[in-house]
Structure 1
Amino acid sequence: MFSSLALSYITAWRERKSLDRRGVSLALIGRVPGALLAGLALGLFAARTYDVVFGSLIIVATVVSLWRGGVQPTPIALVGAGFASGFIGTLTAVGGPPMALVYQNANGPTLRSTLRSCCKIKFKAS
């Protein structure tokens, strides 16, 4: 975990000039309630339920990524992707895909620095 976190911050630092600070801020606004909801869900549902939810979300994400034009990084999309990232990331430790959908058409440095900045912030439910 330490090496992954270190790599994320090194990448974000190296490409900090391309970082979408506004996008990261909006995503974090959504990420906190998403993580809190996931923490609540962890206490309420059986582990099998998470598999079904996660699998369903992957299918939805695949369909969305094929949608012509993709998802644009609007404020609503960024907060929504942040929420989904917080929810999925807390349940499965894989919070990057919702944000990657929003930034799928961004240039490489912006994509790398932004995803590394907002998707490596972990909220652990106990």
Structure 2
Amino acid sequence: MEALFAHVTTSPAVAALVLLIVFAASVVQFGLGMGFGLTAAPLLALIDPMLVPAPALFIGLVTSSWGAWRERGAIRWAEVAPAAFGRIVGVALSAAILSLAITRETFSLLFGLFVGLAVLLSVTGWRLAFTRRNIVAMATVSGLMGTITSVGAPPLAIVYQGQPAHKARPTLAAFFAIGCAISLAGLFATGWATVRDAGLAVLMLPGVLAGAVVAGRIGTRLDRRYRPMLLSVAGIASGLLILRGLA
């Protein structure tokens, strides 16, 4: 078991940093119904590329499922169904890309570019009409980005940002729970996910549990107070990942 996780557990400081990142990302996820990937994935990728995308998606599956279950009565399944279809299309596209013989350096570059795109989508304030067609389209983009980077929320946020939070949050949580499962299936099919990734996710669960407790106390206030900082950190991490890929 120690050999399996040696690249994380050899340094207690690294393990603590990973848990801290997962904790912060979980607070965002439980408070908003999305955002775990954008908060955690870029930083985890900088610490150890083995922590993304599959381990982060496993954690995203847990946090999204948890949030969806807590508010299951408010989920609007008529929106989740077409979004899930779009996610499948996006995962198929990403699987095709990952099936190519790309190196870890190329993956780092691709990862950084997609995270940068996610940050750009988050800060531009671009809005799309809340229609079934746009939900499917942005869910497709979410599937493509989310499978490669585990950051799939920003495209859907463009469509849902005009919706009341108490309605959007449980629906998005349900979509991302299903979406993470679909993305993981695509990663396993292409060899980019293994059982070890599930084990790495288990090591990060304490951070998720702590995040759930804190999120219950501060809720959406995190978004108002710290959203610019979180986006700035993700943007910087994106740039570093791009530089790593080009090196």
1:87 aligns with 2:148: no
Distance in 2 (CA, whole Å) between partners of 1:7 and 1:23 is 20
Count of aligned residue pairs for this structure pair = 122
Out of 82-91 and 52-61, give the one that drifted further. 52-61
Q: Percent identity?
A: 30
| Letter of the structure 2 residue corresponding to residue 49 of structure 1 | L
Gap change, CA 1:72 and 1:40, over 3 Å in 2: same
Q: Runs of 5+ in structure 2 lacking a partner?
A: 1-55, 192-247
* 1:31 maps onto 2:87 in alignment: yes
Distance in 2 separating the partners of 1:11 and 1:42: 30
TM-aligned CA deviation for residue 111 of structure 1: 1.7
Mapped partners of 1:100, 1:93: distance in 2: 15
CA distance in 2, matches of 1:39, 1:119: 18
Match of 2:47 in 1: none
- Partner Cα distance (1:104, 1:113) in 2: 14
Counterpart of 1:10?
66
Larger Rg: 2
CA RMSD of aligned residues (A): 2.3
Runs of 4+ aligned residues of structure 1 deviating over 3 Å after TM superposition are 1-7
| CA shift for structure 1 position 37 | 0.6
Residue equivalent to 1:43? 99
Q: In structure 2, do the counterparts of structure 1 residues 21 and 10 end up closer, same or farther at CA, with 3 Å as the change threshold?
A: same
Question: Aligned runs of 1:1-126 on 2, under 5 Å?
Answer: 5-44=61-100, 45=102, 46-47=106-107, 48-63=109-124, 66-67=125-126, 70-121=127-178, 122=180, 123-124=183-184, 125=187, 126=191
Q: Secondary structure at the match of 2:133?
A: helix
Normalised to the residue count of structure 2, the TM-score between the two structures is 0.44
Which whole-Å CA distance do the structure 1 matches of 2:145 and 2:75 have between them?
23
Change (3 A) 1:29 1:3: closer
Could you tell me which amino acid in structure 1 is paired with residue 177 of structure 2?
Answer: K
Partners of 1:53 and 1:6 lie apart in 2 by: 23
Q: Which has a greater percent of helix?
A: 2
The answer to whether the 8 A contact 2:142-2:153 is kept is: yes
TM-score (norm 1): 0.80
